[in-house]
Amino acid sequence: MKKRSKKLAVLVSACLLTVAGGATAWSADAKAGKATYDKLCVSCHGADGKGNPAMAKMMGAKELNIVDKETTAKKDDVLIKVIVEGAGKMPASGKNLNKQEQTDVLSYMRSLAK
């Protein structure tokens, strides 16, 4: 009986961690994030998230592809920080966005990778 209880406890814990980890994704709205993405991000990152080739040529930036495995593997908080504070040649475009708008943009960005 003890083995069964331990297995159940592990299963319940795993489920709770999954739910907690997905809370940001559930509260974010990719459709709302698209409007902000189109306004602030599309000129460099492209409509498909793979990067605007003309902008990449001009800036010499390979980081414009936001749907590649390296970028999509990053945690939400890391990507939100980049959205808000900028990184490298990317300006701090998201500093005027509220938390919900930031998570919406991230949600839309992640939807491009699917």
Is residue 6 scored above 90 in pLDDT?
no
Number of structural domains found in the chain: 1
Q: Is residue 18 part of a domain?
A: no
Instruction: Tell me the pLDDT band of 3, cut-offs 50, 70 and 90.
Output: low
Q: Is residue 37 part of a domain?
A: yes
- Strand, helix or coil for residue 99: helix
- Specify the CATH number for the domain of residue 38: 1.10.760.10
Write b or e for each residue in 92-109: b if 16 or more Cβ atoms lie within 10 A of its Cβ, otherwise e. Answer: ebbeebeeebbbbbbbbb
pTM: 0.72
Instruction: Tell me the pLDDT band of 16, cut-offs 50, 70 and 90.
Output: very low
Q: Is residue 104 part of a domain?
A: yes
Range of the domain at 96: 28-112
CB 110 within 8 A of CB 72: yes
Q: Is residue 43 part of a domain?
A: yes
Compare 19 and 84 and report the one with higher pLDDT.
84
Tens digits of residue pLDDT in 54-105 = 988 888 777 799 999 999 999 999 999 999 999 988 999 888 999 999 999 9
3-state secondary structure 3-36: HHHHHHHHHHHHHHHHHHHCHHHHHCCHHHHHHH
Retrieve residue 2's tokens: 């003890």
HSE-up of residue 69 (Cα within 13 Å, Cβ side): 0
